[in-house]
Chain A
């Protein structure tokens, strides 16, 4: 196989030589090839990776060190590797409870956002109605205000309904940001599906709900996946609303991490381990939708 390939390259090159020579004789000279600084390529890449990964490496590094080592010595890797920090997190309910709380409201939010955004995006994608373009744009303007603006009204509103310190309170609050985004992303993916497919399904006899679930949703499955990722991501990293609306029972992990100052000072190691564990879910979700993320950032319009 490989010899065959080599042979064909050789035979391909031979007739090329006289042609090039004759071209030169007639006054045609090929432009000089640009010399690429190939030997520097690895350096650029290495520097890039070092700057990008150094903070993460340092976090992982710290999470395996003891507090004494973190505060007293400078070491590139743990001299005395320990799993104590992780053990603290997995055994102390106030730590692992934070993860459970975070994941609970993030999942709730993702499900609600997509369930609400799917019909809305379909309407924006398929129908023309009064003020549709304005409404569509207005949705996105919800994302333009900082969350702090909404902290007060949400707190007051949820207090009145007795929703403070529940998972659903945070999940609903995050919908304010995630539903518009989900509508925008899904609308892009849906508009990529020709309207004739809808019509063909109706002609075949599908009712609207059956068509939507059996034909349409599989068609935009990657869009739903990307939307889920974006909802997850924003809800996972959002701190201000999540902290304002919870006290103890639904307190998110990020809020717990900011409150680890104890009488004996800061527990650096445990905090680093918590940080590592907070990165993992996001990294996992990214892995699943890695092929569609670029399209998601373009709001499905590629």
Chain B
């Protein structure tokens, strides 16, 4: 069990990590999700012991390890860049942590070959890392993390520099590989989709703070605040400003709608309605009681889906449409929304007030 207690990391005047408290259970898979510069790597380095926190403490299985050098901790780490020892063969690269630990030769050989088999590196064992493809180099780094049987395995965007096909393959395999070891598995990523595919727990990071930590689907369905919802949505969640007074809700563009259903239970005040791109419709569907005029700014076609970027009264919105939509840029459209699908955030604090029913999210 790894515990961070009110950990803060400052470098000069800049605060990289601010007051983070987390408990990661043994044998669990934990995703750190956040945009670049949100502090994912710094947090991992603090967990690893490569950096020491400015204040706060780190506990491993109940023992305080703040300031204990990384050599004395049983951890493994894989970077986004492919980091291997260029002068050693793939075999020696994988064997490296075992050689240092003084494991006997037969055992080293057995474990290296087993890891190489898992990572499909067996034919490359006698080559040096620079003779391998990017994917093979990263698999070498992963194999080195596997053989060590570390208590804490930190993967810092390990698949970001790999091609699409290989990413899918490794992403499916990685949790399985480490699940058997009972290690605490921490995986940093910038992509919400990757977090959802991995499952486990997710901690969303924004500007050095953990905004929410919990089971991945729970964080996705019930974001605690607007920042979490925006972080955990790709493209980011669309927002609509609204003010409720009595039985009517006034939208930013002056239109009003009756407060029905779940919205009826809101107290009077200013709110931000958030909705995911796939809940933005251009043709009226069941329950779409709100119509907002907008102008098409950009359309992106990814094959079977289209992203439509719209200039709405509340700024830029993005809608996800199935199929390829022949929408002209500059066209005036009516955006249809279902208020039952809204995430409702307080306009002042950004805290979530109402989230859509779980089954529908």
The residue on A at minimum CB distance from B80 is A196
Q: Which A residues are in CB contact (< 8 Å) with B87?
A: 215, 218-219
Contact between A196 and B100 (Cβ–Cβ < 8 Å)? no
B7 within 8 A of A: no
B144 → chain A, closest Cβ, in Å? 7
| Bound form: Cα–Cα A194–B87 in Å | 14
The residue on B at minimum CB distance from A206 is B100
| Stretch of A8-16, A103-111, A136-144, A197-205 contacting B (4+ beta carbons < 8 Å) | A197-205
A207 within 8 A of B: yes
Q: Which B residues are in CB contact (< 8 Å) with A215?
A: 85, 87-88
| Bound form: Cα–Cα A36–B69 in Å | 65
Given A203-B75, A206-B71, A215-B87, A196 and B101 touching (CB < 8 A)?
A: no
The residue on A at minimum CB distance from B76 is A203
| Bound form: Cα–Cα A201–B69 in Å | 12
B286 → chain A, closest Cβ, in Å? 53
Chain A, interface SS category: helix
Contact between A207 and B83 (Cβ–Cβ < 8 Å)? no
| Bound form: Cα–Cα A233–B84 in Å | 35
Q: Which A residues are in CB contact (< 8 Å) with B76?
A: 203
Contact between B97 and A197 (Cβ–Cβ < 8 Å)? no
| Bound form: Cα–Cα A125–B50 in Å | 18
Q: Which A residues are in CB contact (< 8 Å) with B77?
A: 199-200, 203
Contact between B85 and A196 (Cβ–Cβ < 8 Å)? no
A283 → chain B, closest Cβ, in Å? 29
Contact between B71 and A205 (Cβ–Cβ < 8 Å)? yes
Count chain B residues whose beta carbon lies closer than 8 angstroms to a beta carbon of A: 23
142-170 of chain B: CB within 8 A of chain A: 144, 148
Q: 0/1 per residue, A202-217, Cβ < 8 Å to B?
A: 1111110010000100
Contact between A205 and B100 (Cβ–Cβ < 8 Å)? yes
| Bound form: Cα–Cα A132–B100 in Å | 33
Q: Which B residues are in CB contact (< 8 Å) with A206?
A: 71, 100
| Bound form: Cα–Cα A202–B72 in Å | 9
B6 within 8 A of A: no
Given A202-B71, A203-B77, A204-B97, A194 and B83 touching (CB < 8 A)?
A: yes
| Bound form: Cα–Cα A210–B100 in Å | 10
How many CB-defined contacts (below 8 Å) exist between A and B?
Answer: 51
Find the residue from A199, A205, A215, A219 having the highest chain B CB count within 10 A.
Answer: A205
Given A215-B87, A218-B87, A219-B87, A202 and B81 touching (CB < 8 A)?
A: no
Residue in B75, B83, B86 whose beta carbon sits within 8 Å of that of A219 in the complex: B86
Given A194-B83, A197-B83, A215-B85, A203 and B70 touching (CB < 8 A)?
A: yes
Given A199-B50, A199-B70, A204 and B100 touching (CB < 8 A)?
A: yes
| Bound form: Cα–Cα A202–B101 in Å | 12
| Bound form: Cα–Cα A197–B101 in Å | 18
Q: 0/1 per residue, B63-78, Cβ < 8 Å to A?
A: 0000001110001110
| Bound form: Cα–Cα A17–B162 in Å | 43
| Bound form: Cα–Cα A206–B70 in Å | 10
262-296 of chain A: CB within 8 A of chain B: none
B79 within 8 A of A: yes
B337 within 8 A of A: no
| Bound form: Cα–Cα A197–B48 in Å | 15
A168 → chain B, closest Cβ, in Å? 34
| Bound form: Cα–Cα A219–B87 in Å | 6
Given A205-B97, A205-B101, A206-B100, A200 and B83 touching (CB < 8 A)?
A: yes
B96 within 8 A of A: yes
Report A's interface with B, CB cutoff 8 A: 194, 196-197, 199-207, 210, 215, 218-219
25 A–B contact pairs at CB < 8 A? A194-B81, A194-B83, A196-B79, A196-B81, A199-B50, A199-B77, A200-B83, A200-B144, A201-B85, A201-B96, A203-B48, A203-B70, A203-B71, A203-B75, A203-B76, A203-B97, A205-B71, A206-B100, A207-B71, A210-B100, A215-B85, A215-B87, A215-B88, A219-B85, A219-B86
Q: Contacts A194-B83, A199-B77, A202-B50 known; list 4 others, CB within 8 Å.
A: A200-B77, A206-B71, A215-B88, A219-B87
